[in-house]
């Protein structure tokens, strides 16, 4: 397990929900944990929406004061540098889904590369409009890598249709996840599913069950 885990992907991939689930899992395991929200663009599914639950678990929360503003790639507040500087903590980072979010991560990338103790997961939902194929998802992956100055280390297949998702929907996206893995040269770190689908999908390698913590009219994991 790496000290820093970064969740990045296109808008609507579900990375914030996965980041919150993972931070809570670390805290339950007794790890000193902080979660940093670098998603300065997306007004939905924000880490702050789970602030009470994270507080109760003892997870420290760091949020940019520029969140939801029109400031173009702002300087990070000093608290954000705890991700790299405070090595007593496991850090979970929710990275923005477009170039501005990835560029914000770029401010931390030199220190992350120097420590070399991070995992960067590409979260993909093959049911979202701009990542419906392995080729399109790979394009998004390369754009994030170029903007952030960091390379992904694994893929999280988070393909879903929100509350309407069935086990068949998740199975239908597995082949696209495999193609993306082959083209990117990266392992599938996990396939994500709601807790109530776990039994029906128990034969899938590296199945990760998650709790849906954010809802809107088009709720996703």
In the predicted model, is pLDDT for residue 104 greater than 50? Answer: yes
- The domain 4-210 is classified under which CATH number: 3.40.250.10, 3.40.50.300, 1.10.3720.10, 3.20.20.120? 3.40.50.300
8 Å CB contact between 134 and 183: yes
Whether 114 and 9 have beta carbons less than 8 Å apart is answered as no
Residue 183 has pLDDT above 50, yes or no: yes
pLDDT in tens, 188-216: 999 999 999 999 999 999 999 998 775 54
Measured CA to CA in angstroms, residue 211 lies from 9, 24, 198, 204 at distances of 19, 11, 11, 18
pLDDT score recorded for residue 218: 39
**What is the mean pLDDT of the segment spanning 89-118?**
89
Among 52, 1, 2, residue whose Cα is nearest residue 24: 52
pTM of the model: 0.91
Average pLDDT rounded to a whole number, residues 48-69: 80
pLDDT value of residue 78: 86
Give the residue extent of every domain in the chain: 4-210
Beta-strand pair 188-194/207-210: parallel
Helix ranges, 86-166 (H): 99-106, 109-115, 134-148
């Amino acid at each position: 397990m790496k000290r820093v885990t970064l969740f990045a992907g296109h808008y609507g991939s579900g990375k914030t929900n996965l980041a919150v689930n993972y931070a809570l899992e670390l805290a339950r395991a007794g790890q000193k944990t902080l979660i940093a929200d670098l998603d300065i663009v997306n007004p939905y599914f924000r880490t702050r929406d789970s602030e009470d639950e994270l507080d109760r678990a003892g997870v420290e929360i760091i949020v940019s004061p520029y969140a939801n503003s029109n400031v173009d790639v702002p300087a990070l507040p000093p608290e954000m540098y705890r991700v790299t500087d405070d090595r007593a903590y496991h850090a979970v980072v929710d990275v923005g889904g477009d170039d501005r979010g990835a560029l914000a991560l770029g401010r931390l990338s030199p220190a992350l590369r120097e420590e070399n103790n991070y995992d960067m997961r590409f979260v993909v939902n093959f049911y979202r409009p701009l990542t419906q194929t392995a080729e399109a998802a790979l394009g998004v992956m390369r754009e994030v890598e170029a903007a952030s100055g960091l390379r992904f280390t694994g893929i999280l297949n988070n393909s879903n249709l929100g509350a309407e998702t069935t086990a068949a929907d998740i199975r239908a996206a597995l082949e696209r996840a495999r193609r993306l893995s082959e083209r990117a040269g990266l392992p599938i770190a996990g396939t994500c599913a709601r807790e109530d689908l776990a039994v029906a999908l128990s034969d899938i390698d590296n199945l990760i069950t998650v709790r849906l913590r954010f809802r809107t009219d088009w709720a996703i994991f």
